[in-house]
Structure 1
Amino acid sequence: MAAHQTVDGLPHLADQEYTMVVRSAHQLVKATLTELEIRFPPMRRYTEEHHRRTAEDLFAGFIVRTGAILAARRVPARSLDPALDLLALQLKEFPRACRTPARAREALRTRRAPALTIPGPGKPA
């Protein structure tokens, strides 16, 4: 028998959790990147561009994993395309930000997340 989850008997908490995560998404990404600098010291030398690319890679990886989970549930991974379309539509005024859903869509299409690379002297981001 599976362990009883606290939210099982309190369904309103699941909605509250979702709302809180959505509201704090920016802070969650920022905190993750900050912690990555501590755990992976070469990231301390990353430029803003490098940080943005890392966040894009993490998002693309998340989309690929989500697609795999959906496929295991017999839901086509391409069902994520409308969400990526809507995200891109909302970001249309922000060309750099539009790269995030585009890279995620490409990763989903090829079924692999972009490799996280470590930029160094003379290496492009």
Structure 2
Amino acid sequence: ALLILALAVSFLVYRLGSLIGKAGRILDETQASLKVTTDNVQPTLVKLTDTVSLTNDQLARVDSITANVGSMATNANALTSLFAATVGQPLVKAAAFSYGVRSALAKPAGGRLPQQDES
């Protein structure tokens, strides 16, 4: 009976040892896989950092362009107001004067417009 018990314990120890060996190989494979993944991710992160840096540079340029466009719009608005103030009022006065002259020249010498027949 002790021999059977010793064989059973030996078999269990053997099976347990093989399970521990398989677990060790799994851990070794996991470690190798993790190393490969780390080696592949590091260059990707470096490239990503470069891309983000270049993107930030481009955004700074776009911000500068946007500020310049805003300044141009403000200047165009001021120029339009200046043009309306300096040219608009004299044009209105000239138009009113020419209308008055045309109206005065269109009247007959008596100062009255001929009346139309109401037939």
TM-score when normalising by structure 1:
0.23
Kindly indicate whether structure 1 or structure 2 has the higher relative contact order, using CA contacts under 8 Å at least 6 residues apart.
1
TM-score when normalising by structure 2:
0.24
The structure that has the greater radius of gyration is: 2
